[in-house]
Amino acid sequence: MSRIPFEQLPADVRQAVVDKTGTVHEAQTVRGGMNSGIASVLETESGSVFVKGIPANHAQAGAQRREAAIAPHLPTSCPRLYWHLELDGWSLLGYEVVDGRHADYTPGSPDLPLVEAALTELQGVTAPPDIEIKDAMDRWAEYAPPGTSQYFGGDALLHTDFAPDNVLVAGERARIVDWAWPTRGAAWIDPGALALRLMEAGHSVESAVAFARRFPSWREAEPDALAAFGAATAALWKEIAEEAEALWKRGMALHAKALAHTLG
Ligand SMILES: Nc1ncnc2c1ncn2[C@@H]1O[C@H](COP(=O)(O)OP(=O)(O)OP(=O)(O)O)[C@@H](O)[C@H]1O
Ligand SMILES: [Mg+2]
């Protein structure tokens, strides 16, 4: 959807934000991501805040609520959620600002060890049992080879969308944002999802898999589980690429096919 500037939100919605932050001095729309109808850094009386929001009747409104629900359970590599507002047809989240840039995943990038450190921290987090999040077995069942979906099960908290837009590098730290798809499952899934994005950024499949192997969860996973992941990822991206013609989606489908071949 197209993104509107903060000033174009309905007056009562802006007032509700002001009630949280104090006077808004300046609002700057940010680049990156797709679904958020508004994504702005606000300079306010109480400091800066990143606000992302979508119309409450938008198909992704459920994702935004999941994002709010998981926020208190996230490790320090993720920015803090300050508040969640739902009013006058809008759902807004107010976050700690990460004053950084999108991660550079290209081979040899100095960002890669920072991304590794952020994901390592996340790998130690167990999915909270008391909130409703997706289960990896359900998410991948449709795409995984018959009889393999149990491999995806586990109790780790997974992010699953490591598009470089969703990893911000600020100083010596990478921060993971955009928790629209928090998922409970096997811990090795996130290193696998990241590996595919490294390929998109120019890594060979060998280099991407070597990066995944830095994570104990990946090294300790059963080869059959990783083969099922490769096959499921290839099937998923093939479907995405066929549904909507876009060059980057076709590229992702080709990388996923190569990953499946290597893991299979
Ligand atoms: N805490 C933050 N501080 C500064 N900038 C941020 C922060 N969180 C996200 N951003 C920037 O805003 C962009 C959009 O945010 P985000 O990725 O959370 O939403 P999205 O991708 O538009 O939404 P969705 O996941 O619903 O599609 C990010 O790509 C990033 O550049
Ligand atoms: Mg995003």
For 251-264, write each residue's pLDDT tens digit.
Answer: 999 999 999 999 99
Q: What residues have CB less than 8 Å from 35, skipping those under 6 apart?
A: 1, 54, 58, 60, 63, 180
Q: What atom in ligand 1 is closest to the CA of residue 178?
A: 18
The closest alpha carbon to 85, from 10, 157, 26, belongs to 10
The pLDDT assigned to 31 comes to 86
Give the closest ligand to the alpha carbon of residue 68.
Answer: 1
CA distance 238 to 249: 8
Over residues 55-67, mean pLDDT: 90
Provide the whole-model pTM.
0.95
Q: What residues have CB less than 8 Å from 112, skipping those under 6 apart?
A: 105, 211
CA distance 80 to 128: 17
Could you state, in order of their start, the residue ranges of all structural domains in the chain?
6-95, 101-263
> Closest residue (by CA) to atom 21 of ligand 1?
33
Give the closest ligand to the alpha carbon of residue 162.
Answer: 2
For 81-128, write each residue's pLDDT tens digit.
Answer: 999 999 999 999 999 999 999 999 999 999 999 999 999 999 999 999
The answer to whether residue 213 scores a pLDDT higher than 80 is: yes
The answer to whether residue 208 scores a pLDDT higher than 90 is: yes
The pLDDT assigned to 248 comes to 96
The pLDDT assigned to 33 comes to 76
The pLDDT assigned to 29 comes to 95
b (16+ CB within 10 A) / e for 36-46: bbbbbbbebee
Over residues 187-192, mean pLDDT: 98
Mean pLDDT of the chain: 96
Which of 30, 70, 162 gets mutated to test ligand 1 (max ligand atoms within 8 A of its CB)?
30
| Ligand 1 contact via 98 beta carbon (within 6 Å) | yes
**Across-strand partners of 90?**
55, 87
The answer to whether residue 164 scores a pLDDT higher than 70 is: yes
Give the closest ligand to the alpha carbon of residue 61.
Answer: 1
Over residues 225-230, mean pLDDT: 98
b (16+ CB within 10 A) / e for 198-223: bbbbebebeebbebbeebebbeebee
The pLDDT assigned to 172 comes to 96
- Split at pLDDT 50, 70, 90, the class of 2 is confident
CATH superfamily of 101-263: Aminoglycoside phosphotransferase (APH), C-terminal lobe (3.90.1200.10)
- Split at pLDDT 50, 70, 90, the class of 1 is low
CA distance 175 to 177: 6
Q: What atom in ligand 1 is closest to the CA of residue 99?
A: 4
Task: Report yes or no: 199 and 205 within 8 Å, Cβ to Cβ.
Answer: yes
Measure 178 CA to ligand 2 centroid, in angstroms.
5
How far from chain centre, in Å, is Cα 206? 24
Task: Report yes or no: 260 and 233 within 8 Å, Cβ to Cβ.
Answer: yes
Measure 152 CA to ligand 2 centroid, in angstroms.
24
CA distance 40 to 50: 6
| Ligand 1 contact via 95 beta carbon (within 6 Å) | yes
The answer to whether residue 171 scores a pLDDT higher than 80 is: yes
Measure 249 CA to ligand 1 centroid, in angstroms.
20
CA distance 120 to 191: 9
The pLDDT assigned to 34 comes to 76
- Ion ligand 2 neighbours (CB, 5 A) are 33, 165-166, 178
Measure 176 CA to ligand 2 centroid, in angstroms.
10
Measure 30 CA to ligand 1 centroid, in angstroms.
8
> Closest residue (by CA) to atom 16 of ligand 1?
178
For 17-60, write each residue's pLDDT tens digit.
Answer: 999 999 999 999 998 777 789 999 999 999 999 999 999 898 88
Share of residues in the chain with pLDDT > 90 (%): 92
- Topology given in CATH for the domain delimited by 6-95: Phosphorylase Kinase; domain 1 (3.30.200)
